[in-house]
Amino acid sequence: MVNDAHCHFFSTAFFGAMARQRSSSSPGSPAGLCRELQWDDPGTPEALADRWVRELDANGVGRAVLIASIPGDEASVAAAVARHPSRFVGFFMLDPSADEAPARARHALTDQGLRGLCLFPAMHHVPLHDDRTLRVVEAAASCPGAAVFVHCGVLSVGVRKRLGLPSRFDLRLGDPLAVSRLALAFPHVPFVIPHFGAGLLREALMAADACANVHFDTSSSNGWVKYTPDLTLAAVFKSALAVAGPSRLLFGSDSSFFPRGWQRGIFEEQSAILDGLGMAASERRLIIGDNFDRLFPLHARVQPKAC
Ligand SMILES: [Zn+2]
């Protein structure tokens, strides 16, 4: 069974936040923004969750990580997870500089039933070695079963570009070597670096070599391979397997909006690469789905008492 470790939950609250970022004085409605983008209006979180389930069913996907993709939107993903707990694992983006960020992380990972804290240091301008980051990672670490996702490397948010929103990201801050420092401090916490480090492959491999708890997700088209002459995605998989092994790679698609829906093309491309590498069937299964189930066991919730 295929499980997808990286999908975005573009809720009505997400589009509302985008509209406010574009114009705080006259933001317009989330539905109006969707019309402009020629994307489907997500409706309520429950309606969007049901649509995702239909989409996963149509593509033979068992479970998926849904990421609340704007700080403050934990409730939308929590509603989706509560409605379909056997299908969704909830992650949430958190700005470590926000008021009460550690308490917010704990609340999301306990009461709201989410399982992954997502850090975007380049977007939020909070370095990974900053104490504010440490405090939120500590909060996640105090919740057994929680994972920490850290976006590294090049960061480009398609919807922001489409809407003409400025993206003043500080790309220096997304360094996988800084993730390794956190991963060493919290060895029982699974850390996930998406897109093999998104351009910082060498540093991501070094982090994975140094820390047995650093994982990669394989999501997106991985267009960053263009930064290294002649690098292919097949060669990236080969290097990642040589350093981290098959138990630390998680298939992900980076699907986000409708009507496009689940990105089957990404799965087919990566599936063909795995076939070409001549892996044992059991190793292939780890990447495609079993690692996901090991990190996020069905019906296991983060334990509130321990936090
Ligand atoms: Zn993504």
The pLDDT tens digits of the residues spanning 14-44 come to 999 999 998 888 888 999 999 999 999 999 9
Contact 191, 179 (CB under 8 A): yes
Phi, psi dihedrals of residue 194, rounded to the nearest 5°: -75, 160
- 8: CA distance to ligand 1 center in Å? 6
Task: Convert the pLDDT of each residue in 246-267 to its tens digit.
Answer: 999 999 999 999 999 999 999 9
- 45: CA distance to ligand 1 center in Å? 19
Question: What is the spatial distance between Cα 111 and Cα 291, in angstroms, rounded to a whole number?
Answer: 25
The answer on pLDDT for 305 being more than 70 is: no
Tokens of 281: 């069937």
Average pLDDT value for residue range 286-299: 96
The answer on pLDDT for 241 being more than 80 is: yes
Tokens of 198: 């998104």
CA distances from residue 102 to 56, 65, 121, 136, 143 in whole angstroms, order as listed: 33, 22, 16, 5, 12
The answer on pLDDT for 198 being more than 90 is: yes
- 305: CA distance to ligand 1 center in Å? 31
Q: Which residues have C-beta within 8 Å of that of residue 222, sequence separation ≥ 6?
A: 195, 196, 198, 233, 236
- Which pTM value belongs to this model? 0.96
- 67: CA distance to ligand 1 center in Å? 8
- 254: CA distance to ligand 1 center in Å? 5
